[in-house]
Chain A
Amino acid sequence: MTPAKKLLSYSYYPGCSLHASAKEYDESTRGLFKALGIGLQEVPDWLCCGATPAHNVDELLSLSLCAKNLSLAEGVEGDLAVACAACFSRLKVTQHHLADNETKRKQVEYAIDGTVNLAKPVKHLLEILAKDFGLDRLTEAVQKPLAGLKVACYYGCLLTRPPEVPQLDCVEAPTIMERVIGAVGAETVGWSHRMECCGANFTLSRPGVVLKLSGSILDSAKAAGADCLMVACPLCHGNLDIRQKEIEEATGQRFGMPVFYMTQLLALAVGVAPGKLGFDSMIVNPLPLLREKQLL
């Protein structure tokens, strides 16, 4: 067995959404990793990372919740795989801040009543697929190339920003999503709103913000000729998929744009049964598009 072919195995932090409103992201991630032969073991008793609300008003709480998760993850072998862009960002930010700041680290260690371990690499699924597993191997695993499917890859805010923290790809012009989905045969479109904010967690408090910002994103993707959007964040998905009908009503435009989690498309390409990818959980029905492209 060559070193490049050694078995990959990860500890897994799904985050709250993946056990609820984004369950299709969780199902398709597990399906994809199984099909690729990558091990994935969920961290037991993980807790909410605090997402945006925690750091918005209480940085110490946000750092402590993430540090607690990092210490729980110590109990499971392998680098920590994270699917949600927000959880990924918070866990990375915590490692980054606590590495440079002795005072904060002491406060956090007191709060969680334990040592903070910053050694475990936290990796987004994109990084695992593109760098650890490799695009060549991903292409080799394809059973049903996504030929003819025009995908608008939507990064949103937290996959790449701020520059020194996630280190996933170029901060202003990333291509990692395009490279990964391109490796399974899909076409990607060039478009203007790849990294514009979707309105984030204002979906609860100020939905009007979401209608405006997510509306521009859908509009831009449609204008670029995309058949669908691909995302890596449950919050972006909620704003673009769940609120799409409202956006259409508010703007008078018709988008009908299915919003896929990246793992749904990748898993479909590597031969995971479509019934296991949660397509029926999506609000904008993706089945007509997938049938039209002969992917079902």
Chain B
Amino acid sequence: MKHSTMRLSIETMNLDFVKKVEALSGSSVRRCFQCGKCSAGCPMRSFMEHPPNRIVRFLQLGQYERVLAGRSIWYCASCETCTTRCPNKVDLAAIMDALRKCSWDAKGPSKESYVQLANRLFIDNIRTYGRQYEMRLAAVFNVKSGQFLKDLMLGPKLITKGKLKVFHQKNKNLAEIEQIFKRIEELRKKGEAP
């Protein structure tokens, strides 16, 4: 893999970003001493261009663009193996969540738009139906990602097995659920929540 030169100076290091990630995740980035145990146990390591410990190193050096531009943060499965095994109690899973939130909020193009799309549809389903509507999740994902034939053979099988409901009932308390979403938006608008 090609490595571009990294110049470190007060101008190229964004330490405010590090502080933001630390505040969002509630975990220190600077405690990491690069033992690499997180990456050694990471099941998703082979799908990432930067292993988890390198992500932390980039953060320590204030190189946030490299972190947010890559696909690594979207290929974290949230399995918590890294957090469990870190000898210095760095909560890497929480740091990954914080980084995804930063990337999500920036609304910039991401290399992993499929993962973002799946997350977006999942959350939209909660707002619309209160619970997951798996049939809709899969169908809308295929349409929006342009993979119309993805899992085509799986659908009918799951329907005959009764595993995929074609029709879905909405929750009775949808107004209360909508209110949760609205109030969170309101808190953010007022700057009272991250």
Question: A residues within 8 Å of B by Cβ?
Answer: 16-17, 19-23, 45, 47-48, 50-61, 64-65, 68, 101, 107, 110-113, 157-158, 161-163, 171-172, 196-197, 199-202, 204-207, 209, 212-213, 242, 280-283
CB distance from A104 to the nearest CB of B (A): 9
CB distance from A27 to the nearest CB of B (A): 10
| Residue of A17, A161, A213 contacting most chain B CB atoms (<10 Å) | A161
| Contact partners of A68 in chain B: CB under 8 A | 176-177, 180
Which of chain A's residues has its CB closest to B172's CB?
A45
Interface size on B, residues (CB 8 A): 63
Q: Is the contact region of chain B dominated by helix, strand, or loop, or is it mixed?
A: helix
| Contact partners of B46 in chain A: CB under 8 A | 212
Q: Is A157's CB under 8 angstroms from B79's CB?
A: yes
Q: Is the contact region of chain A dominated by helix, strand, or loop, or is it mixed?
A: helix
Question: How many angstroms from the CA of A232 to the CA of B84 in the assembled complex?
Answer: 20
**B3-11, B49-57, B60-68, B117-125 - interface stretch:** B117-125
Residues 105-129 (chain B) with a chain A CB within 8 angstroms:
112, 114-119, 122-123, 125-126
| Contact partners of B149 in chain A: CB under 8 A | none
Q: Is A202's CB under 8 angstroms from B123's CB?
A: no
Residues 39-82 (chain B) with a chain A CB within 8 angstroms:
43-44, 46-47, 75, 77-81
Give 3 closest A-B pairs by Cβ, nearest first. Answer: A16-B132, A157-B79, A161-B80
Question: How many angstroms from the CA of A259 to the CA of B53 in the assembled complex?
Answer: 34
Q: Is B183's CB under 8 angstroms from A113's CB?
A: yes
A-B contact pairs, 22 of them (CB 8 A): A17-B134, A20-B132, A20-B165, A21-B164, A22-B163, A48-B131, A50-B126, A51-B122, A53-B118, A54-B122, A54-B123, A57-B97, A57-B100, A59-B24, A157-B77, A158-B80, A196-B43, A204-B118, A205-B114, A205-B141, A282-B161, A283-B157
Q: Is A19's CB under 8 angstroms from B131's CB?
A: yes
Q: Is B47's CB under 8 angstroms from A162's CB?
A: no
CB distance from B151 to the nearest CB of A (A): 7
| Contact partners of B26 in chain A: CB under 8 A | 101
Q: Is B141's CB under 8 angstroms from A23's CB?
A: no
Q: Is A55's CB under 8 angstroms from B158's CB?
A: no
CB distance from A224 to the nearest CB of B (A): 19
CB distance from A108 to the nearest CB of B (A): 9
B146 interface residue per 8 A CB criterion: no
Which of chain B's residues has its CB closest to A199's CB?
B77
Q: Which of B77, B84, B158 contacts A200 (CB 8 A)?
A: B77
Which of chain A's residues has its CB closest to B25's CB?
A59
Question: How many angstroms from the CA of A61 to the CA of B123 in the assembled complex?
Answer: 9
| Contact partners of A65 in chain B: CB under 8 A | 126, 180
Q: Is A47's CB under 8 angstroms from B118's CB?
A: no
Question: B residues within 8 Å of A by Cβ?
Answer: 24, 26, 43-44, 46-47, 75, 77-81, 83-84, 91, 93, 97, 100-101, 104, 112, 114-119, 122-123, 125-126, 130-132, 134, 137-138, 141, 145, 150-151, 154, 157-158, 161-165, 171-173, 176-177, 179-181, 183-184, 187, 192-194
Known: A56-B78, A64-B184, A281-B162. 10 other contacts (CB 8 A): A47-B131, A48-B131, A59-B97, A157-B80, A162-B93, A196-B43, A197-B43, A197-B44, A201-B77, A204-B138
Question: How many angstroms from the CA of A287 to the CA of B148 in the assembled complex?
Answer: 34
Question: How many angstroms from the CA of A81 to the CA of B184 in the assembled complex?
Answer: 28
Known A205-B114, A209-B47; judge A56-B163 contact (CB<8 A).
no
Which of chain A's residues has its CB closest to B168's CB?
A20
| Contact partners of A64 in chain B: CB under 8 A | 180, 184
| Contact partners of B75 in chain A: CB under 8 A | 206, 209
Known A51-B122, A55-B97; judge A111-B134 contact (CB<8 A).
no
Q: Is A57's CB under 8 angstroms from B119's CB?
A: yes
| Contact partners of A157 in chain B: CB under 8 A | 77-81
Q: Is B130's CB under 8 angstroms from A48's CB?
A: yes
| Contact partners of A199 in chain B: CB under 8 A | 77
Known A110-B187, A197-B77, A205-B141; judge A56-B119 contact (CB<8 A).
yes
Question: How many angstroms from the CA of A200 to the CA of B97 in the assembled complex?
Answer: 16
Q: Is B172's CB under 8 angstroms from A107's CB?
A: no
Known A53-B118, A57-B100, A161-B83; judge A202-B77 contact (CB<8 A).
yes
Q: Is A56's CB under 8 angstroms from B126's CB?
A: no
Q: Is B122's CB under 8 angstroms from A20's CB?
A: no
